[in-house]
Amino acid sequence: MMLHIPGVLTPEQVAHMRQQLHAAEWVDGRGTVGDQGVKVKSNRQLAEQSPLARELGQIVLDALARNPLFFSAALPLRTCPPMFNHYAGGGAYGNHVDGAMRRMAPNGQWLRTDVSSTLFLTDPDDYDGGELVVEDNYGTHEVKLPAGDLIVYPSTSIHRVEPVTRGARISCFFWTQSMVRDDLQRCLLLELDRNIQALRARLGDCDELVGLTAHYHNLLRQWSMA
């Protein structure tokens, strides 16, 4: 399941991050990937443990905690500290799949990557190229969103970032371990939840909605690994 979540960050938050990142010290992005990724990755990143990465990452985590659509789609058990990248001058990241496990700093706890997320911090008109391209069973999907918008997709997907040929593409990215490991089950729960919310807004609470809500929670109880 791929899902576009608009307006995760406000324009003011985006402007603040862009201002802070303009003067940031970026490091070679190849330092955070394995042997396969090194061969196809060309970008820069904020050092994971830098004070700025932690400060801006907390803003992102707080915004996610206030976003009901992200919760409904990802059903997060834990989310790794957000990271930040910068593509320019032909920078790109060829076809790859995210590693299944990541060790979270600073506590060293392992996180299984179920859901990958990219939060765009530059608008599409600011740069040429830089599309996030995700391949799944339904084809190939190109994503280039307004600043402040988020795309979430299964971490099992092969994906890439096309070369940036003008300007700079700055984004935040992170992984989430879901309470529900299976992507199809998460998709079914999301659609059920969205339909329950739509029916409640139209009809108010009724016995049928109580029954559907019970089905939702009983499925979540059965499928959850939390």
The predicted-structure confidence for 113-135, as pLDDT tens digits, reads as follows: 999 999 999 999 999 999 999 99
Q: Are residues 62 and 129 in the same domain?
A: yes
Interval 58-94: pLDDT, tens: 999 999 999 999 999 999 999 999 999 999 999 999 9
Q: Which residues constitute the domain of residue 204? A: 183-223
Q: Are residues 172 and 187 in the same domain?
A: no
Domain count, the chain: 2
Going edge to edge, which strands form the sheet with 92-96?
41-42, 92-96, 158-161, 132-136, 139-143
| Strand partners for 160 | 133
Whether residues 114 and 208 share a domain: the answer is no
Let me know: does 130 contact 164? Beta carbons within 8 Å: yes
Regarding whether 163 and 195 lie in a shared domain, the answer is: no
**pLDDT > 90: what percent of the chain?**
90
Q: Residue 67: phi, psi to the nearest 5? A: -105, 105
Q: Name the token pair of 23.
A: 């003067």
Place of tokens 């939702």: 216
Check whether residue 161 and residue 207 sit in a common domain.
Answer: no
Same domain, 16 and 103: yes
Same domain? 172 vs 188: no
Closest to 188 measured CA to CA, from 98, 81, 72: 72
What pLDDT band is residue 216 in, cutting at 50, 70 and 90?
very high
Assess whether 58 and 76 both reside in one domain: yes
Task: Tell whether 198 and 168 lie within a shared domain.
Answer: no
Assess whether 137 and 210 both reside in one domain: no
